Amino acid sequence: MIGLLQGEVVFSDGNELILFSPSGVGHQIYFQHVLPEGSIAAIFISHIVKEASEELFGFRSLREKKAFEMLLSVKGVGPKGAFALVTSIGVDNIIDAILFENKKTLQKAPGIGAKAASQIILDLSGKAQKIKMYSKASATATSVPDTVIQPTLNLEIIEETIHATPSYDSALMNDAIMACKELGFTEDKVMPLAKRILDENQITRAEQLVHLVLKEV
């Protein structure tokens, strides 16, 4: 089973990531953050094997990965639901919701209804606290590769990968705004979302920015 992958980011749009490993394989991973294309990244992986397919779910920290796998043990919660919980609510909020039996917090995740939220609280009330033993350190690192991907792993906390100080590319912003306008959205609605998304992600292509904006409008 795959637990962690490192390689060059070939594609990243805030929904999926294609990581080209030193072994010459390009892995397609569900990953809810935009990473700079051409950088080197190390991602914690939960490898889900089904009868007819295999899926890779990517996480910034071991704690997120373990929380995802804990949620999979709940009856009625599948990989997509568990992934939505971890990526949209956050591990600490999930733990608090379970401990304080707060179903409404859990129901904020796409695909999680009242029944699933109740089952999560019932099944994990005695297990949720254990997730805090796992590190919050990010395995994600960015550096521009030379000609060869170096198969070394830096497990330091490098949150700048996701929350770097923004450097706005006006052409990128303009292209994204124009694309959103063509889809029927007004600039005053799109602009604040685009600026916030650029604050939170390292985006190199207008298509990436448009994709993330359209997820929120």
Q: Domains (ranges, CATH) in the chain? A: 4-59+137-160 (2.40.50.140), 62-133 (1.10.150.20), 170-214 (1.10.8)
Please state, in angstroms and rounded to a whole number, the distance separating the CA atoms of residues 183 and 211: 12
pLDDT of residue 15: 92
Compute how many other C-beta atoms are within 10 angstroms of the C-beta atom of residue 187: 11
Residue 195 confidence (pLDDT): 86
Confidence tier at 214 by pLDDT (50, 70, 90): confident
Q: Could you tell me the pTM of the whole model? A: 0.70
Length of the chain: 217
26-79 tens-digit pLDDT: 999 999 988 988 999 999 999 999 888 899 999 999 999 999 999 999 999 999
pLDDT at position 201 is: 78
For 77-136, how does the pLDDT look when each residue is reduced to its tens digit (9 = 90+)?
A: 999 999 999 999 999 999 999 999 999 999 999 999 999 999 999 999 989 989 988 888
Determine the Cα–Cα distance for residues 31 and 159; give it in Å rounded to an integer: 15
Q: How far is CA 133 from CA 106, 128, 136, in A?
A: 21, 10, 9
What integer pLDDT is reported at residue 109 of this predicted model?
93
- Helix (H) or strand (E) run with residue 118 in it: helix 114-124
Paired tokens of 155: 């497990």
Closest CA to 210 of 190, 188, 189: 190
Query: Is there a contact between 27 and 43 (Cβ–Cβ < 8 Å)?
Result: no
Structure tokens at 79: 């990989």
Q: What pLDDT score was predicted for residue 163?
A: 42
The span from the CA of 151 to the CA of 140, in Å, is 13
Q: Which two tokens stand for residue 136?
A: 């919050």
143-174 pLDDT, tens digit each: 554 444 444 454 443 344 444 444 556 778 88
